[in-house]
Chain A
């Protein structure tokens, strides 16, 4: 059973398009996150979200928006994609802010 699953695993798209990455966790965790890993492997938090509060990293462009239909899902929507958005995006979850459980990542390539 996959604990944190993301789809799609690979996404290739043109500049200017809008795309979404889905994330689901079956661990019953309270908090979910989106991280961006660039080509140099640098991991940076984008959002953290529980059923009460969304915390946004102030450096994230407002073209990126998380959407949570329920406690087990946190999807990432990206509008007007740019070349610099190419990266691997990781979803993660955590029980009460403790250890992070990461998904396997979604590699986004913008052409």
Chain B
């Protein structure tokens, strides 16, 4: 089955700086890679996703890149703000959507004022 590794487990950055979270996956058939943000006391919420036919996707301050050859994908957050503090999860699946998602172990992002 799929195995998703996520690094780092904790990331502390100064407000205004950029943050990068990296994930690797094992199943070359995986074709859908979402990122979820979980705020304290809440359920995870989708913030961006990418499919295997695209190398990069951007939405305002958030971008995701995918390297299929190396089987890794990354989340980039620019101009970080206090409200970006949360736990971020990457995930992967060969099912093309929500079914069969394997999540990484999460990254606790801390934005220092």
Contact = CB atoms under 8 A, between A and B. Distances in A.
A40 B104 CA distance: 12
B43 A31 contact: no
B101 A41 contact: no
B51 to A, nearest CB: 11
A104 B98 contact: no
B87 A96 contact: no
B99 interface: yes
A106 to B, nearest CB: 10
A42 B97 contact: no
A66 interface: no
Contacts of B105: 40-42
A52 to B, nearest CB: 13
A90 to B, nearest CB: 5
Nearest to B102: A45
Nearest to B41: A104
A34 to B, nearest CB: 12
B14 interface: no
Nearest to A45: B101
Interface residues of B, number: 23
A49 to B, nearest CB: 11
A100 B38 CA distance: 13
A31 B99 CA distance: 9
B45 A102 contact: yes
B73 interface: no
Interface in B55-105: 87, 89, 95-101, 103, 105
A31 to B, nearest CB: 7
8 contacts: A41-B87, A42-B103, A90-B44, A94-B98, A97-B95, A97-B98, A100-B98, A100-B101
Interface of B: 34, 36, 38, 41-46, 49, 87, 89, 95-101, 103, 105-106, 108
